[in-house]
Structure formats: structure tokens, C-alpha cells
Homo-oligomer: A and B are copies of this chain.
Amino acid sequence: MKNAVGREIPQSIPGLNKIRPFQGAFAYQPTGRLAGPKTPVHVPGKEKLLKSLDQAIDATGLRDGMTISFHHHFRNGDYVMKMVMDAIARKGIKDLTITPSSLSAVQDCIIPYLEQGVITAIETTGIREQLGNLVSSGRLAKPAIIRTHGGRARAIESGETHIDVAFIGAPTCDTYGNINGVDGPSACGSLGYPMVDAAYADQVVAITDHLVPHPLYPISIPQTLVDFIVVVDKIGDPNGIATGSLRISNNPKELVISKYAAQVMEYSGYFQDNFSLQLGSGGASLSAAKFIKEKMHQQGIAASFGVGGITGVMVEMHEQGLIKKLIDVQTFDTPSIKSLKEHPLHVEISASFYANPHTRGPIVNNVDFVILSATEVDLDFNVNVLTGSNGKLMGAPGGHPDTAAGSKVAIIVLPLIRGRRPMIQDRVNTVVTPGETVDVIVTDYGVAVNPRRKDLLDHLRDSSLPIMEIEELQRIAYKMTGIPAPPPPTADEVVAVVEYRDGSIIDVIRKCK
């Protein structure tokens, strides 16, 4: 059967319980009730602090077939997943599902455990490098489930993903289990993702290299959710956790794109005092900030809030009074981590508050502008940020589909051509963000407005932007590159499903031949 973005979705997929094809960004209106977390008890005086990770794993009763979770706030500096998986593997536990909030290159270290059957299923929001290749080649027993940040929170809160044990890397933890991410040698900033895991997991283990006296302040994850605490030497490598500051591009192509993106904002009809925005962490998105700042200064306006992954660029705008509040689910660089600790109006939120569609309204619903990058787009404005031109997993939906759906103006920035490949396809390899939620596509050669947004188009005609139909943009690209070769053939076997934020299947990824 074909779903609402025209993708063929099998009626059943071995290893998955239910298949609900994508029917439109807001078509699915769930009823019923969320999961009920396990009823916990903790008698005063009982010690939560255990002697070792081994002891903690034993205390949780972890066994074959269970589901465990991790967070990715340590990015490429994460030591936690490896040390936990090593300890689990030593105990001979098998057939685990892991549901990390995302997977970075550093997590290639768990590949042996996939090969040995310690890990047989993965649910996550991003997968890259060798691990991406491995999953793409069908080496997992079950298809991977790729979710959005909001969709992962939804899956956990709805009970679709039931976490037996959450292992939470805790940059600072007090002796009764209160956790934050802003202090300690492995500070990572916001703990927005594991907030959700901690609230719903049957057992929660905090793993820290910075144990402090009770009570900690500030508290990101409270003692009422934490069962056990383990102290280890190091939970992460600060150099991998955060870069000094994310780069702003000097690439002339990116500068053109950034300038156009800023102009789209300016002329959209929504660029007024107290607008709100999210900037992705890509180069063009970040350098757009430079042009937006100029326009804000000129017009004497400030943003009510900036949300999302927070970067030094946004912190600087906050410090200059151009963004009144920073709302932070994930903190990308050292200046932002410092800001979250020091600035009272830089506040931490959970992934559910950020983007879960099955709440009374996540903050993405309040975003006016979001600037997002893309791997490729297509004539229906669908966006792929997950698979490469070789069909292999090498990216992350992250919050892309969430903010595109929530925001008033979702702007996709990408070069018209990368290498020798045109970036506007007839059909993207993998639909991650459906075209109905994408408003404007900005390239270095021109700007295409989604025909659904006639209002935007009318506004943008007042600008000097090179506005054209998306087919025209594609023709320009093809003139330079020729018609691209079709994507490599795949086998029938589904190796991963791409869940839209509401839990429906927006696309499937088949085994590379």
C-alpha cells in the first residue's frame, strides 16, 4: 500500500508489530491513554549508590530480550554506552533492543555486540558511519526504527517503546540521584532527551564522574526517578562532547544561501517583534544568523525565543538582547553549555516539551521560522536527511520533521549541486520530512515556495529574491549535472523503517544490494 507521500509500505514487516502508513502530518489523532510508569517505592535510608556498573546491572534484573536506553548529549565524546555494553556483554546477556536518543560515530564501538547478538534491535533518531552501513546491509535481526526527537518522546510516553532500564550518563549527580548536565568535567548542557527516558523507564541507573552532596542545584532529572547511582572515572571526553564553537561558514555558496534564507524571513510577513525561531546546526543555517541579526537591528525588533539545539550563535544573539529566551533541548557547543549554566533566561526543556506531537502542544508549535538543512529534496518538497545517494543510513531526522510541522515558515537550505549531484530529485531516496510541512526551499541558484503556501509566495514577491518554481530549479541543476543516475537497486528486505513523528511509517529503507 502507498502512504500519503506515495511510498510503498509493506503490509507487514518481519520483526515489527504494527504498520500504520503515514496519512498526513496531522491526520492521526490518537485516543486512549499513555503508558503508566512502573510504581516505584524507595524507603528512607536505603542506599542508591552502588559500587560498580556490574552491581547496578545486577540490581536492575536486566535479562535477555529487554530494552535499554542511552542519551546522546555526549555526542562523539560518549564513554557511557561502551562501558555499559561491555559490562552487559560480559554477563552473557543477549538479544537486547537499544534505544539511544541518537548514535554518533563513536558508537561504532558497539558493532561487535551487534555481531554477537548482544544487541538485536535499534530504535533511534540518527545513525551514521559503520553502524549505518551495518544496519543498511541487513545485519540486525529486526529492522531499525528511525524516529524524530518528538517521535521518540511520543513512542516512550505512549508505551510503544517500553524501556526496561535507562542508563543515563550524568555530568553531575548527587547522592540521592538528582542529576544535571551543566556541572562537572563532562558537562554537556541540557539533558532534554533522557528526561523522557527517566520518567518512563522501569529502572533508572545514573552513571556519573561527578558525585556531589545532596541536594544538587539545578536539577534536570529528579531523585524521584532515579533508582541507582554508579560512580566511574570518566563518562565522556570533553573534546568530543562539545566543540569550542560551531563554525560560521565562509563558503561563498553557503553565504548566498544564508542571505536568501534571511531575506525569506524578512519578507515572509512573520518577521516582526517577538517572532520566534529555530536554527539548525548546519553551516548555512548558522551563517543565516549573521544576516538575520542585521535585519533585526535595522528594524529594532527582538525574537521572543530561540529554540532547539542551542549554539553559540544563538547565545550571542541572546546576550545582545536579540533573542529574549533560549529554550534548550540540546546544547551544542562550549559557549552554549556555559550560557545554560549562567543565563537565567536560557532554560532547559525535555524532548517531549520540545517536539512531542501527542501533548497539548510542544514548543515547536510556537515557532515562526525554522531553518533546516537537507541531504536532498524533491519536486513534492519532501526532504531526506537520513540516507545518502548510495541508499545507506548516514544521518538523523532529529527534530527536522518536528519543527517543519510545528513552525509557520519551514525553510530548507541546501546547495543546488553537491559534488556533481543535483540536490533536487524527482523523488528523494528516503522521505523523512513530508513536503506538506516544508514551506520554502532555498538554494544558491534560487528559491522555491511550496504552492500550498500562496500567502508566503505573495509576500515574497515583494523581495528581490530569485523565486522560481521547484521544477525550474531542478532544470537549472540538470543543465549543469545532466540527469542523475537512478539510486542503486535494493533488495526487498526492509532493514529500517522511518517513523513520522506520530508513529506512522513515512518510508522504509531496503537492504542495499
Chain B residues near A222 (CB, 8 Å)?
353
Partner of A358, one of B40, B223, B325, B366: B40
| Shortest Cβ gap from A274 to chain B (Å) | 6
Residue of B nearest to A42 (CB): B361
Among A177, A218, A222, A274, max chain B CB count under 10 A is at A222
- What's the nearest-Cβ distance from chain B to residue A401, in Å? 13
Partner of A215 from B31, B48, B214, B327 at Cβ < 8 Å: B327
Chain A 21-49, CB-CB to B under 8 Å as 1, else 0, gives 00000100111111111111111111010
- The answer to the question of A235 belonging to the interface, with a C-beta cut-off of 8 Å to chain B, is no
Task: Assess whether A265 is interfacial by the CB under 8 Å rule.
Answer: no
Q: Is A406 engaged at the interface, CB distance under 8 Å to the other chain?
A: yes
CB-based contact A358/B215 at 8 Å: no
Which residues of the other chain, B, contact A204 by a CB distance below 8 angstroms? 360
Residue of B42, B219, B362 near A359 (CB, 8 A) is B42
Complex CA–CA separation, A352 to B224 (angstroms)? 8
- Decide: A347 and B217 in contact? CB cutoff 8 A: yes
CB pair B304–A353 under 8 Å, yes or no, is no
A32 to B41, CA, bound (A): 11
A33 to chain B: closest residue by CB: B36
Residue A159 at the chain B interface, CB threshold 8 Å: yes
Q: Which residues of B contact A345 (CB under 8 A)?
A: 217
Q: Could you tell me the distance between the alpha carbons of A226 and B46 in the complex, rounded to whole angstroms? A: 36
CB <8 Å contact, B39 and A363: no
Measured between beta carbons, the chain B residues less than 8 angstroms from A176 are 361, 365-366
CB distance from A230 to the nearest CB of B (A): 15
B223, A304: Cβ atoms under 8 Å? no
Q: Which of A333-357 contact B (CB under 8 A)?
A: 344-345, 347, 352-353, 356-357
Residue A405, interface by CB 8 Å:
yes
Residues from 352 to 384 in A contacting B, C-beta threshold 8 Å: 352-353, 356-366
Other-chain residue from B217, B356, B360 in contact with A325 (beta carbon distance below 8 A): B217
**Do A34 and B37 contact each other (CB < 8 Å), given the known contacts A215-B304, A225-B360, A362-B224?**
yes
Q: Bound state CA distance, A219 and B353, in angstroms? A: 12
A159 — nearest CB in chain B belongs to which residue?
Answer: B36
Q: How many angstroms from the CA of A509 to the CA of B215 in the assembled complex? A: 39
Q: In the bound complex, do residue B215 and residue A363 qualify as a contact, i.e. CB atoms below 8 Å apart?
A: yes
Residues of B within 8 A of A30 (CB): 39, 41
Write the chain B residue with the least CB distance to A216.
B325
The answer to the question of A213 belonging to the interface, with a C-beta cut-off of 8 Å to chain B, is yes
Q: Which residues of B contact A266 (CB under 8 A)?
A: none
Residues of B contacting A70 with CB < 8 Å?
A: none
Given A44-B406, A217-B325, also A224-B304 (CB < 8 A): no
Inter-chain contact A213/B274, CB cutoff 8 Å: yes
Q: How far is the CB of A310 from chain B (nearest CB, A)?
A: 15
Contact of A40 among B353, B359, B363 (CB under 8 A): B359
CB of B39 within 8 A of CB of A177, answer no
**A185-242: which have CB < 8 Å to B?**
204, 213-215, 217-219, 222-227
A158 adjacent to chain B (CB < 8 Å): yes
- The answer to the question of A305 belonging to the interface, with a C-beta cut-off of 8 Å to chain B, is yes
Chain B's nearest CB lies how many Å from the CB of A196?
12
Least Cβ–Cβ distance between A204 and chain B, in angstroms: 7
Provide the bound-state CA to CA distance between A30 and B361, in Å.
33
Shortest Cβ gap from A137 to chain B (Å): 37
A353-B224 in contact given A214-B304, A214-B366, A327-B215 (Cβ < 8 Å): yes
**B227 and A360 contacting across the interface, CB-CB below 8 Å:** yes
A43 neighbours in B (Cβ, 8 Å) = 26
Cross-chain contact B36 with A35 (CB below 8 angstroms): yes
Nearest B residue to A274 via CB reads B213
On chain B, the residues within 8 Å of A215 by CB distance are: 304-305, 325, 327, 363, 366
- Spell out A's residues near B (CB within 8 Å): 26, 29-46, 48, 158-159, 176-177, 204, 213-215, 217-219, 222-227, 274, 304-305, 325, 327, 344-345, 347, 352-353, 356-366, 405-406
23 A-B contacts (beta carbon < 8 Å): A31-B39, A32-B38, A32-B39, A33-B36, A34-B37, A36-B36, A40-B358, A40-B359, A40-B360, A41-B357, A42-B359, A48-B360, A48-B361, A177-B360, A177-B361, A214-B366, A215-B305, A215-B363, A217-B325, A217-B345, A222-B353, A224-B359, A224-B361
Nearest 3 CB-CB pairings of A with B: A224-B359, A33-B36, A42-B361
